């Protein structure tokens, strides 16, 4: 039986830190599903379809990774997939507070969920999707933080504004 895990998020956009977490998760699991939330509560810059496309492109050289869109509660998605392991990334203390609250809520909704927290490599600890978007919005170079494909998409998105 394959050991599978879900790495869920809005990934608006996917960063090198996210990719590092996925690579670490692949060392622990036979398959990792990157589940892209519609993120309507976060008002994402990119559509869900665009985010899925950027993730697929950024991960094209990795085996045993699937990228799927989902909407609704993560616990419902996990039940549908018959997976109970969730991967989450932690960078800084403020992430822990948010993730702790989220973990408790998800555990209340489904006792079967197990959450594994992974930290990215030190060189990615300061990268966030929000910071990358802000840099890009001012025409800054984001090539150290995201894949070349994502960098192009960010440039195009902000040139359209």
Helix residue ranges, H only, 59-160: 74-81, 93-109, 129-137, 148-160
**Which of 129, 133, 147, 153 is an active site residue?**
129
**Which of 24, 79, 81, 91 is an active site residue?**
91
Tokens 């519609």 belong to 38
- Whether 42 is a known active-site residue: answer yes
- Whether 41 is a known active-site residue: answer no
- Whether 129 is a known active-site residue: answer yes
**Would you put residue 114 in left (φ > 0), alpha (ψ -120 to 50) or beta?**
beta
Decide if 7 contacts 22 (C-beta within 8 A): yes
**Which of 42, 60, 108, 123 is an active site residue?**
42
Rounded distance, CA 158 to CA 161, Å?
Answer: 5
- Whether 152 is a known active-site residue: answer no
**Which of 18, 51, 133, 153 is an active site residue?**
18
Positions marked active-site: 18, 42, 91, 129
């Amino acid at each position: 039986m394959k050991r599978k895990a879900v790495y869920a998020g809005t990934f608006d956009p996917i960063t090198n830190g996210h990719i590092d977490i996925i690579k670490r998760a692949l060392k622990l699991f036979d398959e990792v599903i990157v589940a892209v939330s519609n993120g309507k509560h976060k008002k994402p810059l990119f559509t869900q379809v665009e985010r899925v496309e950027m993730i697929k492109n950024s991960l094209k050289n990795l085996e045993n990774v699937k990228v799927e869109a989902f909407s609704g509660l993560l616990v419902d998605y996990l039940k549908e997939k018959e997976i109970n392991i969730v991967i989450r990334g932690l960078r800084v203390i403020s992430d822990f507070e948010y993730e702790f609250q989220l973990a408790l809520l998800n555990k209340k909704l489904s006792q079967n969920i197990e959450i594994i927290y992974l930290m990215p490599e030190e060189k990615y600890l300061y990268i966030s999707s929000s910071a990358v978007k802000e840099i890009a919005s001012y025409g800054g170079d984001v090539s150290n933080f995201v894949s070349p494909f994502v960098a192009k998409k960010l440039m195009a998105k902000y040139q359209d504004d």
